[in-house]
Amino acid sequence: MPTNVLVTGGAGYIGSVLVPHLLRAGYAVHVLDNFRFDQTSLTDCCLDANFRVTRGDCREEHTLMRALRDADVIIPLAAVVGAPACDRDPTASVTTNFDAIKLLLSLRSSAQRVIFPNTNSGYGIGAKEAFCTEDSPLRPISLYGRTKVEAERAVLDAGNAVTFRLATVFGLSPRMRLDLLVNDFVYRAVTDRALVVFEGHAKRNFVHVRDVARAFLHALEQFETMQGRAYNVGLSDANLSKLELCAAIKRHLPGFAYVEAPVGEDPDKRDYVVSNARIEATGFRPQVSLNDGIRELIKGIAILRNNKFSNA
């Protein structure tokens, strides 16, 4: 019998890439999602006998209890993602990002494994030129960051778990998001050919959505040696400022013009560089470079329109 994986929020940006990866790798996958964006990103999976889907809310105890019944591994992707989305609906953010995780932990058996995605935005504002490691203090500066950090702490305290602190994700997904930093900047470079950058010095780490899916598969295969710890997941050669990101995009789109705003500010004050050495020591390496992702996005934006593909 294949290993049964429950993915909450499995029809979202990451889940819509992860679920087909899991099915191709031979796992049986049960997706629990409320389909709040009317997405159809998993329709190609429906012919697979190892795929099941439940329309429901991960915050409802009865719904979650039934979904957990035969799960060997739980990947709780369901979340209100990003600082702007969380600020718009703080109640939904807390109940989905933290309370639903506490509920899940109270309902699962101790034998059921959890692989939980946190965000490396929990590092907040890092020390200048010092890499944030998994032992660095977590100082989230947004409601989104705080709810995810608190949920990660609960998951690790509960045991039999691995957590990922994901870099800012980029790249094409069947449930696309164009409000993520790289995706947004490339979209503006293609459509507007110009961009005004706020807080241009602020640095982030980045990772392609397909490599995030690969990281989950890696943790499934290496769970015994990885369990009990948090792992940064990102491109070690992509700790870039916003201005450096613009310069990388301009190399692909020479007509793109950008300027740093002399006044004003970005409400997102995150600024840090991240070490991914811990997960690399387990044998995991991202395969999609930032340049590969920019090229992919330039082609994909010919298909997309921003009024639909956004959380913000």
CA distance 147 to 206: 21
- What's the pLDDT at 312? 52
Read off the pTM: 0.94
Q: Which residues of the chain have pLDDT under 50?
A: none
In a domain, 246, yes or no: no
Q: What is the pLDDT of residues 4-15, one digit of tens each?
A: 999 999 999 999
Produce one character per residue of 35-49: b if its CB has 16 or more CB atoms within 10 Å, e if not: bebebebbeebeeee
Closest of 221, 173, 175 to residue 26, by C-alpha? 221
Number of domains in the chain: 1
Instruction: Return the CATH number at 141.
Output: 3.40.50.720
- What's the pLDDT at 307? 57
Q: 42 lies in which domain range?
A: 4-167+207-233
In a domain, 172, yes or no: no
Strands 203-208 and 239-241: antiparallel
Do residues 11 and 41 touch, judged by C-beta distance below 8 A? yes
In a domain, 270, yes or no: no
In a domain, 248, yes or no: no
In a domain, 276, yes or no: no
Mean confidence (pLDDT) of the chain:
94
Q: What is the pLDDT of residues 67-96, one digit of tens each?
A: 999 999 999 999 999 888 999 999 999 999
- What's the pLDDT at 68? 97
In a domain, 252, yes or no: no
In a domain, 10, yes or no: yes
In a domain, 131, yes or no: yes
Other CB atoms within a 10 A radius of the CB of residue 284 amount to 20
Produce one character per residue of 124-133: b if its CB has 16 or more CB atoms within 10 Å, e if not: bebeeeebbe
